[in-house]
Amino acid sequence: MKRRRVIISGASGLVGSALSTYLLNAGYDVVRLVRRAALDADEVRWSPGSGQIDAAIVSGSYAVVNLSGHNIASLWTKRTKELIRVSRISATRTLSEAISAAPEPPQVYISASAVGYYGDRGEARCTEETSCGEGFLAQVCRAWEATAAVDGPTRVVNFRTGLVLSLQGGLLAKMLPAFRCCLGGPLGDGSQYMSWIDLHDLVRAIHFVLDAEAISGPINAAAPNPVTNEEFTRTLSRILDRPAVFRVPEFLLRALPGNMGAEVFLAGVRAIPEKLLKSEFKFEHNVLDDCLRDLLKSS
Ligand SMILES: NC(=O)c1ccc[n+]([C@@H]2O[C@H](COP(=O)([O-])OP(=O)(O)OC[C@H]3O[C@@H](n4cnc5c(N)ncnc54)[C@H](OP(=O)(O)O)[C@@H]3O)[C@@H](O)[C@H]2O)c1
């Protein structure tokens, strides 16, 4: 049987590397779009900034997965914010246009988004039906998702992803050294909800959605049990067996440039993955305690 070709952009990143390995092991042909010269047989060069992509690689593929974007954890100067926005929109547009123009379009186009779509929502539960929130991240997510629309039969799924938990990268890997040195603590008053997902579950969810024909449009890619920042901090501190009493004062976070503190560290989103649950996707890690214990037992 012919192997199905999946094209991945942002394949060198935290999610993209794990996804590439997972899909290769599952028997897919993986093509990684790279912005530098291609070095391996499975790499193809593209230039998302100038809209250049090899159209022949998209046509006839089974799926396209778009994970490109400048990291949002970089300090939010004016220039960085523009890079965060433009890198996502230009990569997504390049892929959407190639899919729309393909003589043999892919079955499915999965494009990243984030739970930041909902803005700061306090304790309210956010399902995929919840409206877009306010702020820079919400506006970026809205434009990002709109740019992923395509002409033709390809099913489009926008992954509104929560905080991805992994020791290989992302926020948890950055926080761990401080927590291990007993320098961890809640952010502000700690009441803000954090929607999180284990990296392995995220990759499994992407694989699941490749063939889940009933799923389209936005989906919340976050575990079913979001926690407050206070609870996150307590859980991590208990598992590491280290105190975490160094609360980061709200005024310090609010002093970060570009409103980054308010949007990245203090805004709360309690996202519920209603569509994944209804489609009977099974999370391996539903509960934060189990997830962190499993991640940390190998460290
Ligand atoms: N990790 C999380 O907690 C999280 C949460 C919510 C949403 N997301 C979203 O999910 C996607 C994947 O996340 P990730 O954690 O894997 O991100 P990541 O590790 O930062 O990787 C993103 C990849 O995007 C490409 N990239 C970087 N700067 C770029 C630019 N200026 N223009 C175009 N491409 C650029 C790079 O790949 P190449 O160099 O190979 O092109 C990079 O490896 C991102 O869009 C992210 O915003 C992540």
User: How many Cα neighbours within 13 Å face the side chain of 29?
Assistant: 14
Total domain count for the chain? Answer: 1
Nearest atom (ligand 1) to Cα of 161: 6
Residue 253 to residue 245: CA distance in whole angstroms: 17
Pocket test for ligand 1, best of 19, 31, 47, 71 (most atoms within 8 A of CB): 71
How much is the pLDDT for 207?
A: 98
Global pTM exceeds 0.75: yes
Averaged pLDDT, 203-211: 98
| Tens-digit pLDDT profile for residues 47-93 | 999 999 999 999 999 999 999 999 999 999 999 999 999 999 999 99
Pocket of ligand 1, beta carbon within 6 A = 10-16, 34-35, 48, 67-72, 83, 87, 91, 112, 114, 161, 163-164, 169-170
Q: What percent of the chain has pLDDT over 90?
A: 99
Look up residue 295 and give its two tokens.
């991640």
The per-residue DSSP string of 133-198 comes to -SSHHHHHHHHHHHHT--SSS-EEEEEEE-EEE-SSSHHHHHHHHHHHTT----BTTS-SEE-EEE
Nearest atom (ligand 1) to Cα of 71: 20
Residue 122 to residue 115: CA distance in whole angstroms: 13
The per-residue DSSP string of 199-226 comes to HHHHHHHHHHHHH-TT--EEEEES-S--
Nearest atom (ligand 1) to Cα of 72: 47
Question: 9 CB contacts (<8 Å, ≥6 apart)?
Answer: 16, 33, 46, 48, 64, 65, 66, 67, 68, 91, 95
Averaged pLDDT, 32-54: 97
Domain of 70?
A: 5-297
Look up residue 89 and give its two tokens.
């929109």
CATH number, domain with residue 252:
3.40.50.720
Strands (E), 46-123: 63-66, 108-114
How much is the pLDDT for 239?
A: 98
How far, in Å, are 140, 172, 263 from residue 257 at the CA level?
17, 22, 11
User: In the predicted model, is pLDDT for residue 298 greater than 80?
Assistant: no
| Tens-digit pLDDT profile for residues 236-265 | 999 999 999 999 999 999 999 999 999 999
Mean of per-residue pLDDT scores for the chain: 97
Pocket test for ligand 1, best of 7, 8, 9, 14 (most atoms within 8 A of CB): 14
**pLDDT band at residue 160 using 50, 70 and 90 as cut-offs:** very high
